[in-house]
């Protein structure tokens, strides 16, 4: 059993609380039983699993799967587990797995595009909503919070493993505009929510191939992406209300798209 915070493995795993280290090491943290169960359900490869003796006894079947799925499994003290985890009260298990979402995805009908989303709770909620509305995939601009942020995983409620996602690099130059131009050339309509738009999102024919563009919580979409949009729309608001939370706005638009597509089917 690992009991020392000075153990090399413990030091290495604690570094994964930082985005830079997740990139450098090529792995990220899975915290808690629920995310480990989702990893099992989707047959994700694990590198390291650390658990307490109490957790091992409470979840023998999941522990048995982890033995075969992980390259290394360590029993640790509750103090060590708490030091590794980012949650205040971890439930007994933390694992690591390789970073995903570096490969291109190919959206055929409906996708969500996110630019410079900073709040991990918003990003995780939009992942969950996209999955719930049968959205095919998400393109995440490189200026956004990293997909492997522990809060993103928790907010996605397990859908993080099930929805195709791609991070579009920001360096040496932003590549998201180029990707959107390619989709536009394929016949996709690029729907952007802009407060100055004349048409409501209710007026959009979402039965066509569509990418829904959502921007930064404070600044909205950049001018470049807003200009790329083929169909700017607004979400009607009562007088005195300036805007909606970006995750709420995305949910409204995606559910309207789902409603129209289900009516067509």
Residue 209 in this model has a pLDDT that exceeds 80: yes
Q: Is residue 139 part of a domain?
A: yes
- Which of 215, 242, 228 minimizes the C-alpha distance to 126? 215
| Cα–Cα dist 45/244, whole Å | 38
79 and 125 share one domain: no
| Residue numbers of the domain that contains 257 | 110-264
Q: Model's pTM, two decimal places?
A: 0.93
What sections of the chain are H helices per DSSP? 8-15, 19-25, 33-41, 53-58, 60-69, 78-84, 120-132, 150-155, 176-185, 223-228, 246-264
What's the confidence (pLDDT) of residue 142? 80
Q: In the listed set 98, 123, 145, which residue is the last one of a domain according to the structure?
A: 98
Q: What's the rounded mean pLDDT across residues 236-251?
A: 93
Q: What is the CATH number of the domain that holds 14?
A: 3.30.1330.30
Give residue-wise pLDDT tens across range 43-100. 999 999 999 999 999 999 999 999 999 999 999 999 999 999 999 999 999 999 999 8
CATH number at residue 127: 3.40.1280.10
Cα–Cα dist 160/155, whole Å: 9
Same domain for 174 and 60: no
């Amino acid at each position: 059993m690992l009991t020392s915070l000075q153990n090399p493995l413990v030091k290495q795993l604690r570094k994964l609380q930082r985005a830079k280290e997740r990139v450098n090491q090529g792995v990220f943290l899975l915290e808690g039983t629920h995310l480990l169960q989702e990893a099992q359900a989707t047959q994700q490869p694990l590198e390291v699993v650390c658990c307490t003796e109490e957790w091992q006894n409470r979840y023998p079947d999941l522990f048995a799967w982890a033995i075969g799925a992980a390259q290394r499994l360590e029993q640790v003290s509750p103090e060590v587990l708490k030091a590794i985890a980012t949650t205040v009260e971890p439930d007994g298990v933390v694992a690591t797995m390789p970073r995903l979402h570096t490969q291109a995805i190919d959206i055929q009908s409906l996708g969500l595009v996110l630019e410079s989303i900073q709040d991990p709770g918003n990003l995780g909620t939009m992942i969950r909503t996209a999955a719930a509305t049968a959205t095919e995939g998400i393109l995440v601009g490189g200026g956004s919070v990293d997909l492997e942020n522990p809060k993103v995983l928790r907010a996605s409620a397990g859908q993080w493993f099930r929805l195709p996602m791609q991070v579009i690099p920001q360096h040496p130059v932003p590549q998201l505009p180029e990707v959107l131009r390619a989709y536009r050339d394929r016949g996709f309509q690029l729907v952007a929510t802009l407060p100055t738009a004349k048409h409501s999102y209710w007026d959009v024919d979402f039965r066509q191939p569509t990418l829904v563009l959502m921007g930064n919580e404070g600044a909205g979409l950049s001018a470049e992406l807003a200009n790329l949009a083929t169909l700017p729309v607004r979400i009607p608001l009562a007088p005195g209300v300036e805007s909606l939370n970006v995750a709420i706005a995305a949910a409204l638009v995606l559910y309207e798209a789902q409603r129209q597509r289900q009516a067509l089917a």
